[in-house]
Structure 1
């Protein structure tokens, strides 16, 4: 039986074509086992096959680790991956005098890089962080914050839904485009999202950037939320036009910068808590109360 398991592990490594590694002794779920501490990448990984590659690693190593391995655990244990993904942002590349027409062809994990596999202590620590992470969105403030307990980890500018009602072909009825409030959680992702105009339900594969240049749409996960037990189809996703951030501009979804969307994705696994609120009284950096504009006319 032990020989069969060893053969199965080696065969799966070879099949994945990505697992030349340095070995170290750890504990598997049922007995002491040898498996790589590092995974050495033997080819360039592009955005377009990044998720398939990560899924293959999770499939291979989840069978031999002492904990349940996930993509979020693997990436959070290697924060440089998030940094690299953030740098596929069109506007970051533009600031470096580089025009990117097709983000999917960008290299996100270069050949020769090593990915560290979490040990059981690191996995437990990260899972504890996930369990105490909350996404907080204040609509009239146009801000999304990520908290670990009461400690703010990140703050990002966003755009929110417009203050109007409109017939959307995608849903087949008139919709209130204002972003919905409530408490709930992250319930899923779309890692290769369909880009469509909700008004006419037409797909589009290219986008006009703020600098008026045309590019293909990027591949960045859309994050699905559930509020008060209801799935409104209200996603957290990147916008290719950051000039719209700080505005009531969308069809109800929460829009972010491309770079910020990667951080939110990896800091908000499924079941992470989400609060979307409409608070006009907020504190500024000096601790003074500020009254925000009532963009939806609620008060």
Structure 2
């Protein structure tokens, strides 16, 4: 009596097991497969190996895609999986993001109007999960990393322990006072000095003119061509316990770098902004200083121009 029904029951059970282990949630269209090292257990947690990208992912979907991976797999790692940890374990992702810079593409005879439409991940790309040892190494690096900015030098450095990892040109605030509608007051535009932390990431920023408060959606580049504004994260700082709206963010006009040009924010190249973002998770320490006496690359002492006339006012 039961012999005819047994094959059907077995078939249904196999189908249910298949669905359970192949369902990827909301990001199933992006993920082609996941590889799991079933023979490696750490603290009762399965160590993950990798995921394969199932279809192209553009800048406008990039953060949603990474969030979907973190949400789907964070409970199955022996460490706290985050976007920053995942990307630092796959440095080629940062290189892909850097190569969406308008001026890098222009140098290769490519004009891109809308950076958000550019592809970061291609079908078949492999995103590797770090093992517990590598994850611990990256997390320790985060703890030892800080951002150092010297205003008159127009430089931002990323430093781990005492080792300088990167040095980027920046622009800083102008030495003047001006009425800003967004602040509704006359404001000192000079970049403020002090110590603090990165307290927020704005991954899909809106762009406003602080002078008149108007939002804008396109930008005129240094070559006078008009493009849509890029989607690159802004980093919000808290300096000396004060959140004064002083951001670290990319500029679409690198001709203004190494100048006192902004309304107080620290401007960088688009390509450099991606690196800074992934080396500065929330909580990263930051120092903004005004040192005129520095040493050049040969160790020779030099005195920088006093762009804010601080020495004159002493």
TM-score (normalizing by structure 2):
0.90
Please report how far the alpha carbon of residue 12 of structure 1 lies from its aligned counterpart in structure 2 after TM superposition.
5.7
CA contact (8 A) 1:9 1:60 kept: no
Q: 2:109 is matched with which residue?
A: 97
Please report how far the alpha carbon of residue 118 of structure 1 lies from its aligned counterpart in structure 2 after TM superposition.
1.2
Residue 20, structure 1, aligned to residue 33, structure 2:
yes
Q: 2:77 is matched with which residue?
A: 65
TM-score (normalizing by structure 1):
0.94
- Counterparts of 2:244 and 2:101, CA distance in 1: 28
1:28-78: CA deviations, max 9, x gaps?
Answer: 65x243x64110000100000000000001111111111110000000000
Please report how far the alpha carbon of residue 15 of structure 1 lies from its aligned counterpart in structure 2 after TM superposition.
3.6
Q: 1:190 is matched with which residue?
A: 202
Residue 53, structure 1, aligned to residue 61, structure 2:
no
Q: 1:160 is matched with which residue?
A: 172
Identify which of 264, 268, 279 aligns with 1:267. Answer: 279
Q: 2:306 is matched with which residue?
A: 294
Matches within 5 A, 1:241-256: 241-256=253-268
Larger radius of gyration: 2
Matches within 5 A, 1:113-192: 113-192=125-204
1:167-212: CA deviations, max 9, x gaps?
Answer: 1111111110000000111111100001010000100000000000
Match of 1:156, SS state, is strand
Q: 2:11 is matched with which residue?
A: none
Name the CA shift for 1:32/1:214 in 2 (closer, same or farther; >3 Å): closer
- Counterparts of 2:220 and 2:51, CA distance in 1: 39
Please report how far the alpha carbon of residue 288 of structure 1 lies from its aligned counterpart in structure 2 after TM superposition.
1.1
Please report how far the alpha carbon of residue 228 of structure 1 lies from its aligned counterpart in structure 2 after TM superposition.
1.0
Name the CA shift for 1:32/1:130 in 2 (closer, same or farther; >3 Å): closer
Displacement over 6 Å in runs of 4+: 6-9
1:106-162: CA deviations, max 9, x gaps?
Answer: 001111100001111111000000000010000000000000100000000000000
Please report how far the alpha carbon of residue 13 of structure 1 lies from its aligned counterpart in structure 2 after TM superposition.
2.0
Match of 1:135, SS state, is strand
Q: 2:89 is matched with which residue?
A: 77
Name the CA shift for 1:238/1:179 in 2 (closer, same or farther; >3 Å): same
Structure 1, unaligned runs of 5 or more = 1-5
CA contact (8 A) 2:293 2:302 kept: yes
- Counterparts of 1:28 and 1:202, CA distance in 2: 53
- Counterparts of 1:212 and 1:276, CA distance in 2: 32
Structure 2, unaligned runs of 5 or more = 1-16
Residue 236, structure 1, aligned to residue 228, structure 2:
no
Please report how far the alpha carbon of residue 16 of structure 1 lies from its aligned counterpart in structure 2 after TM superposition.
2.0
Match of 2:286, SS state, is strand
Please report how far the alpha carbon of residue 7 of structure 1 lies from its aligned counterpart in structure 2 after TM superposition.
9.8
CA contact (8 A) 1:27 1:65 kept: no
Match of 1:21, SS state, is strand
- Counterparts of 1:278 and 1:228, CA distance in 2: 15
**Structural RMSD (CA):** 1.6
Name the CA shift for 1:32/1:219 in 2 (closer, same or farther; >3 Å): closer
Q: 1:3 is matched with which residue?
A: none
CA contact (8 A) 1:186 1:270 kept: yes
- Counterparts of 2:247 and 2:22, CA distance in 1: 39
